[in-house]
Structure 1
Amino acid sequence: MKPHFIVTLVPGDGIGPEIASALVKVFQAASVPITWDPYNSPTDDRSTLKAIVESARKHRLMIKGPLATPIAEGPRSINVTLRSALGLYANVRPCKSFAGVESRWDGVELLIVRENTEGAYTGIEHDRGQGKVEAVKIVTAAASMRIAEYAFRAASHRPRRTLAVAHKANIMKKADGLFLQCCREVARKYPAVSYREILVDNCCLQLVLDPQQFDVLLFQNLYGDIVSDLCAGLIGGLGLAPSANIGAECAMFEAVHGSAPDIAGQGIANPAALILSGVLLLRHVNLHREANRIEQAVRSVIGHREATTGDLGGNGTTTSFTNAVIEALHEPAKESLLPSLAVSESPW
């Protein structure tokens, strides 16, 4: 008998409820064995955040739309808070080219692995007065070894078996130096994986010049946040970029684009990134047949372009895109395209 899963669902802010509705409709049409445990956005009501964390811990699975984050003011980012509270140490973002999407490069197939719990992205800052602010970058051997192990394990399951770690150890000799030491130690356990080190600024240059030279890319937290968006640009933008956050006891899947309040409620938002994040969730729990059907349907709709939304050069709406994906579910399933996350610490 096929297992049934309960998933915490947080539609989010702005366009979030619209694209979350699309996800739910597609999963229902594909007969995915999931029951949703939905919650309103915690952006304006932080008391909801505790309930969301408790639900995610209980069900061990969560998917969410975009959550608004104030710039240069306000409380700590809810996204960062969730990752910390749930122990989601690995942010994993596959970037694979889409037929029908104009891009400078074809055949891009990258897997971005980002340490998710420490570094400069945690938002630990101190006002020292007199116009002076201090931001703290924490790097530990334990977290660095853990994410390096995840990345090498992922690389060992991919055909090319290559991994590059990006760093700035020429300047941050202790912090990034420790991260590199841990990566080198783990690399010795994976002799079948080709390993290289590259300065993060040169990595950005090389991605723009020739992204096909890379396979798995490993970053510390802040570097990964920035460069993963660059990689999304190589395949058509954040509207096509799924994301997973993996921990030992829980996993959270999300669209990483913004809440787009300027188009909220207009019915023109692209739901592809959230639907594809749902595909990663299905692979995480070994529902590969359903994942293959949905991913193929999304790629088919994008490839034919008639129903795509404005950000992809089409005239479609959220509803027309969703309906087209549901119709495409009837096409014969092919092999998996997005990577399986079975290398994670999934309990399934």
Structure 2
Amino acid sequence: MMSYRNSMVAKSAAKRTFASIATTEKVLPKKYGGRFVVTLIPGDGVGKEITDSVVSIFEAENLPIDWDRVDISGVDRKEDVKAAVDSLKRNKIGLKGIWHTNAADQAGGGSLNVALRKELDIYANVALFKSIEGVKTRIPNVDLVVIRENTEGEYSGLEHESVPGVVESLKIMTKAKTERIARFAFDFAKKYNRKAVTAVHKANIMKLGDGLFRNTVTRIGEGEYPDVKVDSIIVDNASMQTVAKPHQFDVLVTPSMYGTILGNIGAALIGGPGLVAGANFGREYAVFEPGSRHVGLDIKGQNIANPTAMILSAALMLNHLGLETSSARISKAVHEVIAEGKSTTKDIGGSSSTTDFTKAVIEKLSSYK
């Protein structure tokens, strides 16, 4: 069986490239009779609509993907998470929408997304914030990567009410997991010719926890990756600088909460959450999902969601599976449809539906030789 560690960058012929992602860990998906079995988790909100878009495109392209689908029932969501975990343990690779954490989930133990990542130790989240031709933004040519640690920090999920009216939330930072995410970030930078890695922290206040994160990233960078520039920045300033001058950053590596904050800023810079591709990696599993964690409950069922982020995340998945040609074709078609502006969704200035955008991508693909 081939190795997927060194899958190539999927290149778009539409005047820009879209970097693919491959973890330094070995993730081997199941493959039977020349076909891959992939876990499909539509998630909440607009998840079904945008994953249906991917399924339609894959069917039109006749790709060798068989879906192992896990839906949220709304009856026992913890059992749904267990079903998703079991499916991913079988298949190793997944495509996922975002789960909404409601009051019942909180009462039952917290975020379903965090639970999934912790259960499978999917420790690295990668979100790509890259300007897309045809989308009008205030700052052009943004090309920024945010890599966040997925399993500890503020999202450790450890909190309790010690006495009535007093809640304690534990933020866990460990040397081992910080070294792991630091090496992932520097390996990513080297693999995709990125020049600098910046550690985002709040060590001026949380001197031990965030101090450990900042100092560990700096030590790993200076000691093991001398050809990649390493620096650090306080999260407050990072937020301001990202809004004002995003081009000064290349790869940002963060604890969990700071990555979420900077991810929302990055989404705003390039035109919204419907454009951000992303992925999550662990030693054994890879789960691809939109890089901006917006569920879209307010537009659920209206057929107006932008499926770009999910489609491009799926293209990253194809590249990870070694299907580079299909990945490049789909990325190219999406970028060309957006650049033409005839079938874009409302969030980026158009008036087309999710279905219309999907059809336009399929038609574009059919025009290629």
For 1:109 and 1:285, how far apart are their aligned partners in 2? 24
Any idea what the Cα deviations from partners look like across 1:32-78, whole Å, max 9, x if unmatched? 22110111115532323222111101100111112221269433111
Q: What is the Cα deviation at residue 293 of structure 1?
A: 0.7
For 1:254 and 1:41, how far apart are their aligned partners in 2? 16
- Three-state SS of the structure 2 residue aligned to 1:182 is helix
Contact 1:67-1:258 within 8 A present in 2 as well: no
In 2 relative to 1, CA 266–154 (structure 1 residues): closer, same or farther, beyond 3 Å? same
Any idea what the Cα deviations from partners look like across 1:54-112, whole Å, max 9, x if unmatched? 11011001111122212694331111111011110000001110111111111111111
Corresponding residue for 1:283?
319
Q: Does 180-189 or 53-62 show the bigger shift?
A: 180-189
Contact 2:278-2:313 within 8 A present in 1 as well: yes
Corresponding residue for 1:308?
344
Contact 1:42-1:49 within 8 A present in 2 as well: no
Q: What is the Cα deviation at residue 11 of structure 1?
A: 1.2
Contact 1:98-1:235 within 8 A present in 2 as well: yes
Corresponding residue for 1:134?
168
The reply on whether 1:51 has 2:83 as its aligned counterpart is yes
For 2:271 and 2:284, how far apart are their aligned partners in 1? 33
Corresponding residue for 1:219?
254
Corresponding residue for 2:219?
185
For 2:37 and 2:98, how far apart are their aligned partners in 1? 21
Corresponding residue for 2:98?
66
Contact 1:139-1:179 within 8 A present in 2 as well: yes
The reply on whether 1:14 has 2:45 as its aligned counterpart is yes
Contact 2:343-2:350 within 8 A present in 1 as well: yes
Q: What is the Cα deviation at residue 307 of structure 1?
A: 0.8
Any idea what the Cα deviations from partners look like across 1:226-273, whole Å, max 9, x if unmatched? 111111111011010112110000011113443323322222121111
- Three-state SS of the structure 2 residue aligned to 1:122 is strand
The reply on whether 1:329 has 2:329 as its aligned counterpart is no
Q: What is the Cα deviation at residue 123 of structure 1?
A: 2.4
The reply on whether 1:118 has 2:146 as its aligned counterpart is no
Question: Size of the alignment, in residue pairs?
Answer: 333
- Please report the TM-score for the alignment, with normalisation by the length of structure 2: 0.86
The reply on whether 1:292 has 2:328 as its aligned counterpart is yes
Contact 1:297-1:331 within 8 A present in 2 as well: no
For 2:367 and 2:178, how far apart are their aligned partners in 1? 43
How big is the alpha-carbon RMSD for the aligned residues of Structure 1 and Structure 2? Answer: 1.8
For 2:74 and 2:320, how far apart are their aligned partners in 1? 27
Q: What is the Cα deviation at residue 290 of structure 1?
A: 1.0
Any idea what the Cα deviations from partners look like across 1:112-169, whole Å, max 9, x if unmatched? 1000110011221121224221110100111000000000001112334211111111
318, 321, 327: which one pairs with 2:354? Answer: 318
Give the AA of the match of 2:47.
Answer: G
For 1:12 and 1:274, how far apart are their aligned partners in 2? 12
For 1:47 and 1:206, how far apart are their aligned partners in 2? 42
- Please report the TM-score for the alignment, with normalisation by the length of structure 1: 0.91
- Three-state SS of the structure 1 residue aligned to 2:301 is coil
Amino-acid identity (%): 44
Contact 2:200-2:214 within 8 A present in 1 as well: no
Any idea what the Cα deviations from partners look like across 1:285-328, whole Å, max 9, x if unmatched? 22211111111111111111111111111110011100001111
The reply on whether 1:29 has 2:64 as its aligned counterpart is no
Give the AA of the match of 2:252.
Answer: L
Contact 2:218-2:231 within 8 A present in 1 as well: no
Corresponding residue for 1:339?
none
